[in-house]
Every structure is written in structure tokens, then in C-alpha cells.
Structure 1
Amino acid sequence: MNATSPAATAVARPADLIIAIALALLLGLQPVSTDLYLPALPGIKTELGASMAATQQTMAALLLAFGFGQLVWGPVADRFGRRPVLLVSLSAYLLSSLAAATAADIQALIATRIVQGAAMSGAVVVARAMVRDLYQPSEGMRIMSLGMSGLGLIALSSPLLGGLVTGWFGWRASFVTIALIVLGALLFVALRLPETIRERNPRALQPGPLLQSWGRILRHPTFLGWSGLTAATYGGLFLFLSGSSFVYMQVLGLSATQYGLALCSSSVAYLAGTVVCRRWLVRHGPTGAVRRAALISLAGGLSMTALALAGVQTVWAVLLPQLAYAFGHGTHQPCGQAGVVGPFPQQAGMASALSGFILAATAFFLGQWLGGALDGTTRPLACGVGAASVAVALIGWTAVQRHGLPAEKTA
């Protein structure tokens, strides 16, 4: 299944489609874990008698566990293989989702979200590592983009489904829905997904070699460029996700169903971005694709900031700029997530884990800032997304352009 040529063919082989479906299901756990339950946040706050800060912690706890969990799962996946990690992590995610649906107070819900985050990290780490197991970096970006188109469909349906389920049955039903989705992913992995690692690394968990590998990865300019891009673009998206339910529903007055539709439109833009990404990869290569997408990200972020600072407090002043930002995100993520593991075929799990930790840590601190900055207007959210768009453009136009094209085969 290893690809030896660049992304010259636009037609996926049957084996590629299996991997793309697996990527969509595994990486799709992120929007399922966030977008689907976002409409439930106001209900959680009310029913459990929680403060705004405590309610926001249900998102922050998931993200923090997601970040640290990757540092564990990455070396474990290099040592024991991809399938064992997937089966264990998805099973833990399923059980923790059911536990979340029965949480009696906000502290219990936060605890289950920690387990969810740690379990989700195993699935996401393996998804990125599988791409490097099977493909050279340039082809891996095409397959990652194909998988992320599937992720876009999941992201598209998650907020709408979450809004409908929450509106009909209450916030607990959102976690039951998550559990059913995870069960589907677990069955697909168990029945259809083969082991992808070619050679397990028996020294992956030894402290000395582990620290040496981490140090080498963290010094690699290609890793730093792509991981910086993915962290910056996801940071802006996470700010929007973590603050959008309060801004759209409490500041701008949307219902849970209307809020779900608003998030769906952002997912449509993201899905369109992944489709355009595959075309740009063929025509312009990874760095050319990112260069073009960074301009769109910047336009979206700065226009949202300018409208908010001008006092325009309407749905369209948030929604339209976010569509542009999400479109750019559809190029940055597949290129970045395949790019970070490109130089490391023997340590793909570790490289994936470190990149994921940087991404999660960035989003966590941005989310903590936003939780204290929300002031009943759209300004904090808009300014945060605007700052993230500037970071995306700077990294995409500098570090990615200089170091984003490693040799197809490196140590």
C-alpha cells in the first residue's frame, strides 16, 4: 500500500479508501467530542448548577487530557503497533461517554471528560501515524485531505445533530449519541482496518532513546513549521468552538437548533477547503497550497475582529468571517498533520504525539484565556480568532515556505 509517487493521481485505490474512512472516523472524534456537545453547554450549566468557568472546564479538561495522552500513546503505538492502541483507546472512549451521560454533578462530568480526552488522543495519534506508515509525505497529504473531507462531513453533521438531540432529549442524550458514534468507529477498526506499522520499535518506551527521539524531532525545522501551523490554525478554531455557543445563543439569541445550523455552515466551508486543498496540492504543492490558504484565513480572522471592534454585534458579522477561516483551515490541517510525521518514518507515533501535544496545549491556554475574557459581546472571541489568523499567516508564509518540503525518505 506504500505510495512511491507524488500526488499525481486524483483517484483513490480501494485500499486508500479504507485508510481514508479510518482517518475520517478517528480524526472525526474531535468534532464529535466538541461540536456535538457544544449545544448542550448552556443546559449543562443550568441543570448541574455550575458556574460559567466550571462549565468551560468540561472542554478544557478534555483538551488537556488529549494533549498529555498523546505523549503516552505515541511511543506505545510505535512499540506495540497501531491496532492494539486503537482497540483499547476506543473502548475506553465508549465507556467514558456512557459514564458522562449519567454524571450527577459538574465534577463527575469533568472527570469523564478527562478520560474521554485521554482515550481520544490514542485514536488521533494512531490516525496520523498510519499515514506515514503507508505513504510518502506528499502522497500522505492527499490521503489525509481525503480523510479530512470525511471528517468535514462528520463536523458538518455534529452540531446539527447535537442541537436536535439536545433540544429534544436534553444534554445527557448528546453523550449517548457520542457513544453510539464511537461504537461504530470501534467496529470498523476491529473488522476492517489492518495493522499498518511495518516494524515495531522495541526501544520506543525506554527513557533514554525516547528522550533522544523527542529532542531530535523537536529540533527538526520541518516538524516545527508544520506543527506550528497546525497549532495556530486549530487554536483559532478551538477559540471559536469553545466560545461560540455562548456568543451565538446568549449574546446573539440563537436557539440550540439555529446554533447547530450556524456551526454546520462552518463545517461546509471546512469541507470545501479540503476539496480545494487536494486540487492545490496537485497544482501548487504543499507550500503553495498553504500560502494561498493563509491569505484566506487572515482575511477571515481580521474581518471578524474589525467588525466586532466597530460594534457590529450580529450573527453575520461572526458567521461570514468564520466561513473564510474554516475554509483555510481545510487546507492547513491535512497538510500540517501529514507534514509533521513526514521526516520520521520510524518514529511516526512520537512525532504525531508531540505535534498533537503542542496543538492541544496551545488550544488549552487559549481556551483558558477566553473563559475569563468573555464579556457579553462578540469582541473577545473575534479578537482571539483574529490573532490566530495572524499567527497562521506568519507561519504559513515563513517557516512552512522554507522548511515544508522534506526529502521523501529521511531517517
Structure 2
Amino acid sequence: MKRNIYLLYAMTFLQGMVFYGAIATLYRQAQGVTIFEITLIESISYALCIALEVPWGMVADRIGYKRTMIICCWLYFLSKIIFWQASDFAGFLAERVLLSVVITGFSGVDTSILYLCAGPEHSQRVFGVYNSLGMAGLLSAAAVYTLFVGDDYRLAALLTVFSYGAAALLSLGLTEVHPAPEKAEAREPFAVTLRATLAAPGLLVFLIAVGLLTEVHQTVTVFLNQLQYERCGMTSTAIGAVYIAATLLGLCGVWSAALTRRTGPKGAVGLFCLAPALACVVLTVTNRALLSVGSIWLLQVSNSLFQPFQVQLQNRQVQTRNRATALSIHAMIVDVVAIGSNLLFGALAQWDLRLAFVFGAVACLTALGLLGVWRQRTHLV
């Protein structure tokens, strides 16, 4: 069991090594793709994820988690090769379409392996380490980019291909924790799994809140931050250095469990919603580099601490033996939220970047209200 945990730790580190991460938006823009087209690609990706989430979850529960991970890791490798060769909207869209297949394949499977291997009592700590190692990989890649790659965007993409290839090779060493059921064994029908999943008290409002908070972080720290930095007059070198520091802050996810024990789950929920809301408000009203950088860092810290917390809560709300299918249903709901919010972010940023940040603040406060409703319906927090 521990072997699976360590292998997944190594794999997430390697898959975190996205050497073009610091200039992901600028990379695409250099190939003629606009910011609205970037968010449009993201929304198409989310739509595909909605369509693929449940089928992939059902497949994972039938063929086993090991086989699912191996298939997805090799497809992940292929997607980075496509990204490396992409030169227009169609190329980046093709990469994202394949990535949607990968994301939905992974969805619920990697965390299920960790949850089953670590057990409920230690799962949040393991999730924290898992997420932090992904950030550590991103940090390592950012350092290499800043020190050695510079403006050679294609080289950054090629190095990413190598790291994902190594992760695919490691996936072959995983051992099965959820074997494919025997043919004679009765399988739980999907309708039963769906009813059992949605029967969890307050689950829908919880997942909508998770979707809003996650998308605010994703859009602002991955895409809009670079536009804000340019608005502040920062150089490419400064943007790279700030990105490294932000990635380093992402390692704080290892302290997620300790924080929630200290503040209590109720206090943690308030912190995870109000901190990003404050960051978005500051980004709306300032064009100063220091305040902008600090706000992006605050978003990064908040999300890094929030993700292990919410993943553990999602796993605790699974009420069926088809765990991967149930978590895929969760992810499908989150993706629906992401599509709408992502398109709004893109349209508002195209019009006026500050309006996108206003929307981010409103989304975070909405999530706070939804989590308050969820807490009243469940005894998990």
C-alpha cells in the first residue's frame, strides 16, 4: 500500500514539472491565440469533462484503478507532445481535448488510491503531501525555465514532454487496490450509484462552492495573473521570479490538516473563502506590482490549503462501493460550474481585466454562503 503512495508522490512531482507554466498564457498568445480563445478552449475542455466523467468513472470501477492510471498517464504524455507541436488555436484545442480525456480518467482514481491506501484518518495529510509535491515539481520546472530556458518557449514545452514520459513509465509499477470485479459478481447499476451519491446531504451546494473557489484560483493564478503583471509594468524576468515564489508557496498544502485542526473546520471554511475574495478585491483596485503579487500569492496559499481539505470531505461523502464513479459524478458537477464561470472570466477580462477580478470576489463570497448552507445540512464540519 505504501508503495502506491510513494509512486503517486513521484508521479505527481513529475507531472507538476510544466516548464512553460510561468508563461502559459504568453506562450499561447505568441502563437496567435487570444485570451478569450484561451478561456473558450478551457470551457470546451470542461464541457468534454462533463460528458466523459461518469463513463470514465464506471470504466475505472470495472477495469481497476491501476489500468486506468496507466492508460491516462500515457495519454497525458501524448497530450504534451501535441502541445509542444501546437502552433494555432486548433492545435491547442486538440491538446486540451485529449487532456480532458486524461483529467476525467484520473478524476477520483488517484485520490481513491491514496484514500484507500492511507485510510480516512491520515488521508488529508497524504492529500496535502500529494498536492504539495505537484507544486514542488512545478517549482523545479519554473526554476529551470527562469535560469536556463528564458524566451525559448518551444524548449520549455519539450522538457515538459520528457517529465511526463517519465511519469508514464512509473505508472507501470502501481499495484491494484480496486481489482476489476469477477464476471459472476453482481455490479451495482449506475442508477443506484447515482442515487446513492446525490443522496448525501447538501452535496450539491458543497460541490458548487468547491467549483467556484477552484475556478477563481485556476483562472486568476494561471491566466489572468500574467495580464495583471503586464498591466503593472513587470518584466518577463520579474514575472518568472514571482511565479517561482508563488509555486513555492503552493507547497504549504502539507499543513492543511494542521490548519484545520487549529482553526476548526468552521474557521477554515471562512478563511478559504474570504482570503481569495480579499485578493480579488485588491487586484481590482490596484496596478501596483507589490500589491498584485501579494494578492496572487494569497490566492495560491488559500487554494493549496483548501484542496486537501475539500478532497477529504468529498471522499467522506461517498456512500457507494463504486467510489471512482461517485467521485466522477462530483467532478461533473464541479465542471458544470467551471464552464459558466470560466466563460464569464474570459469575456469580462477581454472587456476590462478589473471586471474579471470583481467577478472573482463575488464568486468567493457566493461560495462562502453555499458552504454555510451545506454545514447546516451535514455533520461533517
Q: Normalized against structure 1, the TM-score is what?
A: 0.79
Deviations 1:145-171 (A, max 9, x none): 22122123134345555566763322x
- CA distance change for structure 1 residues 160 and 133 in 2, over 3 Å: closer, same or farther? same
Q: 2:83: which partner in 1? A: 100
In the TM superposition, what are the counterparts of 1:301-320 in structure 2 within 5 Å? 301-309=276-284, 311-320=285-294
CA distance in 1, matches of 2:243, 2:80: 22
Of the three residues 174, 177, 187, the one matched with 1:196 is 177
2:287 maps to amino acid: Q
User: Which has the larger displacement, 35-44 or 348-357?
Assistant: 35-44
Q: Which consecutive residues of structure 1, in runs of 5 or more, have no partner in the other structure?
A: 2-14, 407-411
CA distance in 1, matches of 2:198, 2:10: 27
Aligned length, in residue pairs: 379
Deviations 1:356-399 (A, max 9, x none): 22233322322211111115765134223312321343344442
Q: In the alignment, is residue 389 of structure 1 matched against residue 364 of structure 2?
A: yes
- CA distance change for structure 1 residues 68 and 28 in 2, over 3 Å: closer, same or farther? farther
**Does the 8 Å CA contact 1:64/1:361 hold for their aligned counterparts?**
yes
CA distance in 2, matches of 1:220, 1:82: 24
CA distance in 2, matches of 1:328, 1:269: 10
- CA distance change for structure 1 residues 41 and 323 in 2, over 3 Å: closer, same or farther? closer
CA distance in 2, matches of 1:121, 1:165: 34
- CA distance change for structure 1 residues 20 and 390 in 2, over 3 Å: closer, same or farther? farther
**Does the 8 Å CA contact 1:163/1:256 hold for their aligned counterparts?**
no
What is the percent sequence identity of the aligned residues?
A: 15
2:228 maps to amino acid: V
Q: 2:254: which partner in 1? A: 275
1:221 maps to amino acid: P
- CA distance change for structure 1 residues 89 and 100 in 2, over 3 Å: closer, same or farther? same
- CA distance change for structure 1 residues 199 and 116 in 2, over 3 Å: closer, same or farther? closer
Q: In the alignment, is residue 116 of structure 1 matched against residue 102 of structure 2?
A: no
Q: 1:8: which partner in 2? A: none
Q: 2:25: which partner in 1? A: 41
Aligned-residue CA RMSD (Å): 3.3
In the TM superposition, what are the counterparts of 1:12-161 in structure 2 within 5 Å? 15=2, 18-19=4-5, 21-22=7-8, 25-26=11-12, 29=15, 36-37=20-21, 39-46=23-30, 48-161=31-144
Q: In the alignment, is residue 219 of structure 1 matched against residue 199 of structure 2?
A: yes
The DSSP-based 3-state class of the residue aligned with 1:360 is helix
1:268 maps to amino acid: L
**Does the 8 Å CA contact 2:14/2:166 hold for their aligned counterparts?**
no
In the TM superposition, what are the counterparts of 1:291-330 in structure 2 within 5 Å? 291-309=266-284, 311-330=285-304
**Does the 8 Å CA contact 2:48/2:97 hold for their aligned counterparts?**
yes
2:304 maps to amino acid: G
1:403 maps to amino acid: T
CA distance in 2, matches of 1:95, 1:61: 19
Q: Normalized against structure 2, the TM-score is what?
A: 0.85
- CA distance change for structure 1 residues 387 and 291 in 2, over 3 Å: closer, same or farther? same
- CA distance change for structure 1 residues 181 and 363 in 2, over 3 Å: closer, same or farther? farther
- CA distance change for structure 1 residues 385 and 168 in 2, over 3 Å: closer, same or farther? same
CA distance in 2, matches of 1:247, 1:64: 27
CA distance in 1, matches of 2:49, 2:234: 30
Q: What is the CA distance between 1:113 and its match in structure 2?
A: 1.8
Of the three residues 307, 313, 316, the one matched with 1:333 is 307
- CA distance change for structure 1 residues 199 and 84 in 2, over 3 Å: closer, same or farther? closer
**Does the 8 Å CA contact 2:216/2:360 hold for their aligned counterparts?**
yes
Q: 1:209: which partner in 2? A: 189
Deviations 1:59-104 (A, max 9, x none): 4444443444332221111111011111111111212221222234
CA distance in 2, matches of 1:51, 1:164: 28
Structure ranking higher on relative contact order (CA contacts 8 Å, 6+ apart): 2
